[in-house]
Amino acid sequence: MAASCESCPIRRRAEKRPNSLIARIWRWHTGWCPGWKAYQKSLAEEPRAD
């Protein structure tokens, strides 16, 4: 599930234009999406290359 959020075309589009309607929809979506929450958790668990 995490990989699909990483390569999501809607997410990339929202990041390119943060003030657009699609970006607002994306932010709303991340508030309840279980896939997004799993993706965030997987990022937090990855070892950092400092």
Q: Mean pLDDT for the chain?
A: 87
The whole-model pTM stands at 0.70
pLDDT in tens, 17-27: 999 999 999 99
Burial of residue 8, with CB atoms counted within 10 A of its CB: 0-12 exposed, 13-18 middle, 19 or more buried = middle
CB 39 within 8 A of CB 5: yes
Structure tokens at 44: 């937090």
Q: Is the pLDDT of residue 1 over 50?
A: no
Round to whole Å and give the CA distance between 39 and 36: 5
Q: Which helix (H) or strand (E) holds 29?
A: helix 21-30
pLDDT cut 70: percent of the chain above it: 92
